[in-house]
Structure 1
Amino acid sequence: MGLRKRVGDTLKQAMKDKDATRLGTLRLINAAIKDQDIAQRGSDSDTGEGVGDAEILAILGKMTKQRMESARAYEEGGRLDLAETERAEISVIEEFLPRQLDEAEVSDAIKAAINATGAESIRDMGKVMGHLKDQYTGQMDFGAVGPKVKDKLCAGA
């Protein structure tokens, strides 16, 4: 089942359960997906079906990251009630994301990507990151992975 259908089915169930928090978050997810569909219309990559699962995973990852930053800001500002709301939204969004890779798995994935792309120096970092994004979208934080790839490529040079 595609992510779009899973979100829709979960939204319908939240309506039946009258779960306001869940329903609100699922509606935000749906709105973000539809925004991306609209943005894609008329572009060369428009297939008429809307965005695919990879793009939806990217949207969900971005939404999670935004809410984590908001929760941190609310905690620093002493607004624990708002931080808790953000964390509740994160838990709903994470239901649709694949399992996050641990440090060892990330390290193995970086090594495999370097070998697969034939990367030899820091100039090949874009190829390695592109390969990782194709293979592991939604499973790792690419902001944290970038410096690790750079370290491995610099150490190998």
Structure 2
Amino acid sequence: MIRDDIKAAQIAAMKAGDKDSRSAITLIQSAIKNRDIEARTGKAPDSDDALVVEVLQKMVKQRRESIEMFSKGGRQELADAEAREVAVIERFLPAVMTEAETAAAIEAIKAEIGAAGMKDMGRVMAELKTRHAANLDMAKASAAVKAALS
């Protein structure tokens, strides 16, 4: 489980005296704990790893936006700090599908559900998210689905 990997990485970072990794992992654990609390009242993902991956993807997206803002604002030291956090977070994410793998998955889903045009984009995206949400950047996948259906 990803939670176990995160806990083991935190212990290793503490033993090694790696303050950057330790603080990033602490933030990860805090975000996961907050998501666990939210899941008690709402609909929780099917698996625990799906919940953790969802949290990690959200954290990476937030930090990439921060990096862009800090770079535009001339605060490179803050952008670098965010980039180091992104590197730590990405260690726990599953490998992202390549463009070729994404295209193959889209084509398989298209054939399976009989998608013909743009009106079927929602069905294709829903199925893609169900099957590959952990390994796929949904923003890029949306553009790929749009291109495949047009």
Q: What is the alpha-carbon distance in structure 1 between the residues aligned to residue 130 and residue 44 of structure 2?
A: 16
TM-score of the superposed pair, with normalisation by structure 1: 0.86
One-letter amino acid of the structure 2 residue matched with residue 34 of structure 1: K
SS at match of 1:138: helix
- Give the conservation status (yes or no) of the 8 Å contact 2:45–2:51: no
Judging changes above 3 Å, is the alpha-carbon distance between structure 1 residues 98 and 46 closer, same or farther for their aligned structure 2 residues? closer
Correspondence list, 1:15-94, <5 A = 15-43=14-42, 45=44, 52-94=48-90
Greater fraction helix: 2
- Please list every run of 5 or more consecutive structure 1 residues that lacks an aligned counterpart in the other structure: none
- Give the conservation status (yes or no) of the 8 Å contact 2:44–2:51: no
Q: Which moved more, 1:26-35 or 1:131-140?
A: 131-140
- Please list every run of 5 or more consecutive structure 2 residues that lacks an aligned counterpart in the other structure: none
Q: What is the alpha-carbon distance in structure 1 between the residues aligned to residue 62 and residue 44 of structure 2?
A: 26
Judging changes above 3 Å, is the alpha-carbon distance between structure 1 residues 42 and 73 closer, same or farther for their aligned structure 2 residues? closer
Aligned position for 2:115: 119
Q: How many aligned residue pairs are there?
A: 150
Q: What is the alpha-carbon distance in structure 1 between the residues aligned to residue 5 and residue 112 of structure 2?
A: 33
Q: Over aligned residues, Cα RMSD in angstroms? A: 1.9
Q: What is the alpha-carbon distance in structure 2 between the residues aligned to residue 42 and residue 152 of structure 1?
A: 38
- Give the conservation status (yes or no) of the 8 Å contact 1:64–1:90: yes
1:45 shift after superposition: 4.6
Deviation readout 1:109-138 (Å, 9 max, x if unpaired): 211221233222323222211221222223
TM-score of the superposed pair, with normalisation by structure 2: 0.90
Q: Which moved more, 1:76-85 or 1:103-112?
A: 103-112
User: Which contiguous aligned blocks of 4+ residues in structure 1 show a shift greater than 6 angstroms?
Assistant: none
